[in-house]
Chain A
Amino acid sequence: MDFEPKILVFACNWCSYAGADLAGTSRLQYAPNVRIVRVMCSGMVNPALILHAFRMGFDGVVVAGCHPGDCHYNVGNYYAKKRIVLLRELLEFVGFESERLKLLWASASEGKKFAEEMNEFTEKIRELGPQEKFRRCQK
């Protein structure tokens, strides 16, 4: 049975969501496993939201934001980087595969890069297999 991973992407409104949009309008194919949620800034992504996504059964989570220095709100992406690094270290410490969480800088003109990164990530998650650790089994 082929395993199709489910990937959740938090894309910031100004840069990476526009980049994803550009990938779409340029008709660039990328993995359909990716579900994109638009947030205003990558700095608003709460670590609790990410863990909640894993609990709901997602196999991989990507937080995509503007390049450092380009954030529409000046410093939001710096906070995001700090939080994601802390969360990844902690997840690795407790034995969860921290590769399932990825931080991506993609600007509004990088449609091709967005598509490529998504494909690469999907393949990586496909190799890792389904995420069983945090997934909620109904009691």
Chain B
Amino acid sequence: MKKEESKISKIKDRVAKLLEKDVSVFIAYERMPFELKDRLTIISSPKEVDKISVSPFMVGSPARMLLEIGGIDDGKIGIIARACDTRAIKQLIKEGKIKRERVYIMGITCGGMVNTRKLRSPRFENGRLYDHDREVHMKDVLYDTCSRCEDPLPVLYDEVFDVFDVFEGVSKADESTEEIEGDREKRWSYWMGEMEKCIRCYACRSACPMCYCTECLVDPINLAVSPFTSAEEKASYPRFLGKTISAEDNLFYHIIRVLHHAGRCADCGECERACPMDIPIRELERKMREVVRDVFGYDDDEIPFLAKLDMIPEGR
């Protein structure tokens, strides 16, 4: 544990140094006062670096925060990013939402985040995780995203800190979607059972770094209007989905949302983590990734997937 502590203090020193002249603000995590969770915070002066916390309990996507504060300063924004966050940032740069020169990416290696919902009263001491008084192996309580992470190394960075070890047993090769066994009826009743639970709180959409549209297709609660929008324009906004809560309508919402992420999803798992009803949203996203990779043969190009115009093999 001493090794990790000294690494974290190195990170803090580095952030303090960067804040002196290279970057104007830094996005990092701080420990919540009453809970074993690290949430996002913005550090704007070297005096505040002590509150930075780097641990297996970080929640929230810094890439999303980057989009939110992107317009604040003229200066650079520093960001602590795990592998999935760097994938999100790379995709956002590809789509033109962030300029590469404006971001200073401090990548960190990641061993996975702990799903504290699986524990009743967690404690973390000396690098070991306890629930009440019983020790728990961290790799048993990781988020599903993390235990099936495809690549735990940052893909885009200005510098990298090696903080966590990747657990063995975290399968890199198991990239296939767990197709729910069985025929269509079984799959349909599985998904209907899951969709019955959905309360359409839109936490999945709000937590996703890729869902940045000010005007969301399936939900007219996010419309970009101004006092100059004419009445005709407002009246003609398409309304595909109201606020009806039924399993079919919830599935409609999720399918359309996932379709918009084809080739773009960073596999960060924020959607599933944010869901209060524990719906396996990422299964759909993973299927999308699999289709994009296997059927279309797309593999991380300069051109975003949805803009690429290839013919795909016939017979599909």
Direct A–B contact present (CB less than 8 angstroms): yes
Residues on A lying within 8 angstroms of B by beta carbon are 46-48, 51-52, 55, 68, 75, 78-79, 81-83, 85-97, 133-136, 139
Closest beta carbon of chain A to B179's beta carbon, Å: 7
**Which residues of B lie under 8 Å from residue A96 when comparing CB positions?**
184, 188
Decide: A79 and B184 in contact? CB cutoff 8 A: no
Contact of A48 among B184, B256, B287 (CB under 8 A): B256
Smallest beta-carbon distance A106→chain B, Å: 16
Q: Is the beta-carbon distance between A85 and B295 smaller than 8 angstroms?
A: yes
Docked complex Cα distance between A42 and B258 (Å)? 21
Chain B interface (Cβ within 8 Å of chain A)? 177, 179, 184-191, 217-218, 238, 240, 244, 246, 248-249, 251-252, 255-256, 258-259, 262, 284, 287-288, 291-292, 295-296, 306, 309-312, 316
17 contacts between A and B (CB under 8 A): A47-B259, A51-B255, A55-B248, A55-B249, A78-B310, A82-B306, A85-B295, A85-B296, A87-B259, A89-B291, A89-B295, A90-B288, A93-B179, A93-B284, A94-B251, A133-B248, A139-B246
Kindly list chain A residues whose C-beta atoms are within 8 Å of the C-beta of B310: 78
Evaluate contact between A95 and B244: CB separation under 8 angstroms.
Answer: no
Could you tell me the distance between the alpha carbons of A110 and B258 in the complex, rounded to whole angstroms? 36
Taking CB atoms, residues of chain A closer than 8 Å to B288 are: 86, 90
Q: Are A89 and B287 in contact (CB under 8 A)?
A: yes
Q: Say how far B256's CB is from chain A's closest CB, in angstroms.
A: 5
Instruction: Find out whether the CB atom of B259 lies under 8 angstroms from the CB atom of A52.
Output: no
State A38–B297 Cα separation when bound (angstroms).
32
Closest to A74 in B: B309
- Contacting B191 at CB < 8 Å: which of A46, A83, A95, A135? A95
Name the contact of A95 in the complex, choosing from B186, B218, B238, B249 (C-beta under 8 A). Answer: B186
Tell me whether chain A's interface is mostly helix, strand or loop, or mixed.
helix
Q: Which 9 A-B pairs have CB atoms at the shortest separation, nearest pair first?
A: A95-B188, A95-B187, A95-B184, A89-B291, A78-B309, A94-B191, A48-B240, A93-B287, A85-B316
Shortest C-beta distance, B200 to chain A (Å), equals 15
In the complex, which of the residues A52, A82, A134 has the most CB atoms of chain B within 10 Å of its own CB atom? A82
Q: Return the chain A residue nearest B290 by Cβ.
A: A89
Cβ contact of B185, chosen from A83, A89, A95, cutoff 8 A: A95
**Distance in Å: Cβ of B26 to nearest Cβ of chain A:** 38
Q: How far is the CA of A135 from the CA of B312 in the complex (A)?
A: 31
Contacts of B316 in A (CB 8 A): 85, 88
Q: Provide the bound-state CA to CA distance between A83 and B296, in Å.
A: 12
B184 / chain A contacts, CB cutoff of 8 Å = 92, 95-97
Contact residues in A for B177 (Cβ distance below 8 Å): 93
CA distance A52 to B311 in the complex (A): 27
- Check if B252 sits within 8 Å of A81, measured CB to CB: no
* Closest B residue, CB atoms, query A97: B184
CB B131 to nearest CB in A, in angstroms, measures 35
Within 8 Å CB of B187, what residues of A? 93-95
Chain B residues, CB < 8 A from A79: 309
Cβ distance B241 to chain A, nearest Cβ, rounded Å: 8
Contact in complex: B188, A81 (CB < 8 Å) = no
Q: Do B252 and A95 touch (CB < 8 A)?
A: no
Interface pair A133/B255, CB less than 8 Å apart: no
A75 touches B256 (CB 8 A): no
Contacts of A47 in B (CB 8 A): 255-256, 259
Nearest to A81 among chain B residues (CB) is B312
Bound-complex Cα distance A52 to B238 (A): 12
Q: Closest chain B residue to A49 by CB distance?
A: B240
CB distance from B242 to the nearest CB of A (A): 12
Q: Provide the residues of chain B in CB contact with A68, threshold 8 Å.
A: 311
By a CB distance below 8 angstroms, the chain A residues around B295 are 85, 89
Cα of A130 to Cα of B8 in the assembled complex, Å: 61
Please, how many angstroms separate the alpha-carbon atoms of A84 and B24 in the complex?
45
A133 and B258 contact, CB distance less than 8 A: no
